[in-house]
Each structure stands twice: as structure tokens, then as C-alpha cells.
Amino acid sequence: MEKNTENIEKIMSKSYNLFEIINDKKDSDSWGDRALDIARDIHEIKKENSLAIRGIKEITRSELKDEGMKLKEIVNILFEAMKREIKESKKDIRLFFSTECNFYTSKHYYLMSMFRNLIMNSIDAIPESKQGGHISIDHSMDREKHVFEISDNGEGLDEDGLNHVFSPGFSTKINYDTGEVNRGLGLSIVKKIVEEEFGGEVSVSSVYGEGTVFRIVIPKAYIEGDKL
């Protein structure tokens, strides 16, 4: 899986290089071969990429059951995985999860991916210098729907950020020097999962300099149990 991730990074760089030379209208003879090369690389990693693409590469496959899982099991696995991430980041962050009830879902991979993307963003948004960083995931429900709120006391979003957070490619983390250009997809994946897999809605509110809350509302029928 690690190797696969490395390969993905390499392909992203290759594609970005191709984009640049096309943009500059340079070496047009090589465009076709370069594009084919990228296509081949993608074909290579296709088999093993599903976990990586869903962004849950650090959660081992053995911890995840195939058919489905209870919300609390999902939350426990995520909690441990995210605590490891926080430890590695060396930031002063406390993580809180609260669940109002427990239910079985066969869409556990999607839930993992959604939460992981949001929590990783919250970790990124809390500066190293901050004391008392705080991330919480709160679940509540009523007769028709489940509501998840992911909040942090990180740097928050300015107006431009608020307008574009869900757009594919919008990122304040792109580093052109290191070639780390595969950024800005996390929230567009989250939005796609919420809307297409769960028939729900995701929204964001934020106070610049104070923190951010992502709110996800999912109709019960789309998330509980086996199938719709």
C-alpha cells in the first residue's frame, strides 16, 4: 500500500509536468508518449488502489470488515488511527468523539473516508504553535436523519476559502517546490460521498482565526442497515 501511494504521487507529478509543458506549448512531440506513460502507470496501480483512493490507507485492511460494521466500531478504529496521526504531527490536539446511538451500516468504507478526510483537514488547520488544539466529531439523530458535526479550533477559513472549499483543486497546501501537487481533492470527495452515496448534504461554517465546523446531514434510510 505504501508503495502504491508513492506510485500515485509519482503519477501526479508526471501529470503535472505534462500539464506544464502543454501549457508552455513545449516539446509537443513528446505529449502523446507522456500521456500514454501516465495511462500505463495508472493501469498498474488500479488493482490495489481502492483503499488509497478512499483515503484510508493507514487503517489496516484487517481492521475493516467486508460487509458492514457498527458505527461505534467504525468510530473506535478511526479514533485510534487519528490519534496516531496527531501524535506524528507533534501538535497539541485533543480528539473527541460522541455518538448518540449505535447502528449497523454497510457503507462503513464511505463513512471512514469521509471522517478521515475531514479530521486530517482539521489536524492540518491547527498550527503547531497552538496550545489546546481541539477536534470533535459529534453525532446526533432524530426520526429521519443522522447529523455529524466535525469541528476544530484551527485557523478557520477566510471568505475565499468558504466560497471554494468544496471545489476540486482548491487547496492552500499545494507545494510546487516539492512536487506535492495532488491536493485539493479531499473535500470534493467528501461532498460526492455525502450526496451520491448517502443522499445527504454537507455544509461548512467558519470564523477566520477561530475554527471551523463541517455539518453533514444524512437521511436514515441511506445509512442504516444493509441496503436502501
Ligand X SMILES: Nc1ncnc2c1ncn2[C@@H]1O[C@H](COP(=O)(O)OP(=O)(O)O)[C@@H](O)[C@H]1O
Binding site for ligand X (CB under 6 A): 117, 121-122, 125, 152, 154-157, 161, 165, 170-173, 183-187, 212
- Site size for Mg ion, by CB under 5 A? 2
In the complex, least distance from residue 152 CB atom to Mg ion, rounded to whole angstroms: 13
Is 154 or 200 the residue whose CB approaches ligand X more closely?
Answer: 154
Which CB, 4 or 136, lies closer to ligand X?
Answer: 136
Residues 6+ apart with CB under 8 A from 205: 212, 213, 215
Q: How far is the CB of 17 from Mg ion (least distance, A)?
A: 23
Q: Which does 154 bind (CB under 5 to 8 A by kind): ligand X, Mg ion, none?
A: ligand X
- The three grid cell numbers given for residue 26, joined into one nine-digit string: 513545449
Q: Which three cell numbers stand for residue 96?
A: 473527541
Q: Which position among 186, 191, 202, 222 is part of the footprint of Mg ion (CB under 5 A)?
A: 186
Q: Are 212 and 152 in contact (CB under 8 A)?
A: yes
Which of Mg ion, ligand X, none is residue 42 near (CB under 5 to 8 Å by kind)?
none
Residue with Cβ nearer ligand X (110 or 224): 110
Rounded to 10°, the helix 31-45/2-23 angle is 160
Selected range binding Mg ion among 2-10, 32-40, 62-70, 119-127, rule: CB under 5 A: 119-127
Judged by beta carbon distances under 5 to 8 A according to partner kind, the member of ligand X, Mg ion, none in contact with residue 172 is ligand X
Q: Which residue's beta carbon is nearest to the bound ligand X?
A: 186
Answer yes or no: are the C-beta atoms of 214 and 116 closer than 8 Å: no
Q: Are 11 and 42 in contact (CB under 8 A)?
A: yes
Q: Which stretch binds Mg ion (CB under 5 A): 10-18, 117-125, 140-148, 218-226?
A: 117-125
Q: What is d(CA 219, CA 198) in angstroms, rounded to the nearest whole number? A: 7
133 binds Mg ion (CB under 5 A): no
Q: Locate 187 and state its grid cell.
A: 473535500
The runs of H, that is alpha helices, within the chain are 2-23, 31-45, 50-53, 71-89, 108-125, 159-164, 186-192, 220-223
Q: Which is nearer to Mg ion, 103 or 170 (CB)?
A: 170
User: Which of 32, 11, 10 has its CA nearest to residue 21?
Assistant: 32
Cα distance between residue 131 and residue 90, in whole Å: 12
Residue 179's binding partner among ligand X, Mg ion, none (Cβ under 5 to 8 angstroms by kind) is none
| Shorter beta-carbon distance to ligand X: residue 19 or 127 | 127
CB of 171 to Mg ion, least distance (A): 7
Q: Which residues bind Mg ion (CB under 5 A)?
A: 121, 186
